Structure 1
């Protein structure tokens, strides 16, 4: 088994609890399904948000997934670099897996596709 990072990002239209929660859930669900992730193999999950995403913690969605209650999760704010993509939620799952780097499915959804078009093209 190797330790690998699985990345993803999604944008939202409005800074509301409901929209942040729904977008975060959609992003994590895709990563779990596409990479066949068992929570027992997850070391940690890191969420970051841009400074305009403040209505709720995206990490709370993991508590809705069966078996994820004991996975360490943290949220942080992105560095506010001028011209960066606004209203963005990013996630990094650190997992133990047999997958090779090029076999991992990374999800960049909505306007976040602009962040890594090279990965988006191979993962759609």
Structure 2
């Protein structure tokens, strides 16, 4: 079955190192908490809010061991007034035996406010 795994994080400032570090940690947590292998991934979509442009958050994903062939695409999130600033969102589409209710969606830092209903 194909499933989507959601994740989101925030950074304190528009800084390439922080964007890369937070994206890497978010995706590693998504992988570990859902037992994902790169060969099970169809694609990864990454969005950033308009206030983040210091680096491509796809880069640390592609640098993960075995992930160089996984299609990863970055784009800008819809600029909604009063939306969460400096936010990086990830949608990972994977093949898995998990039911939808068993998927562990990961929200870190200030992004935890986006989906409190999904927090453990």
TM-score computed with the length of structure 1 as normaliser: 0.95
Q: CA deviation at 1:63?
A: 2.2
Q: CA deviation at 1:64?
A: 2.0
Q: RMSD over aligned Cα, in angstroms?
A: 0.6
Q: Secondary structure at the match of 1:46?
A: strand
Q: Secondary structure at the match of 2:28?
A: helix
1:44 aligns with 2:43: yes
Which ranges of structure 1 fall in alignment gaps of 5 or more residues? Answer: none
State the distance in 2 between where 1:60 and 1:71 align: 12
CA displacement 1:20-44 (0-9 Å, x = unmatched)? 0000001000000000101001000
Residue in 1 that maps onto 2:95:
96
State the distance in 1 between where 2:115 and 2:2 align: 21
CA displacement 1:43-90 (0-9 Å, x = unmatched)? 000000000010001010112211101000000001101010000000
State the distance in 1 between where 2:93 and 2:10 align: 21
Q: CA deviation at 1:112?
A: 0.3
Q: Check conservation: 2:62, 2:72, Cα contact below 8 A.
A: no
Q: Check conservation: 2:14, 2:52, Cα contact below 8 A.
A: yes
State the distance in 2 between where 1:119 and 1:56 align: 28
State the distance in 2 between where 1:63 and 1:106 align: 20
Q: Secondary structure at the match of 1:91?
A: strand
1:1-124 equivalence runs, <5 A: 2-120=1-119, 122=120
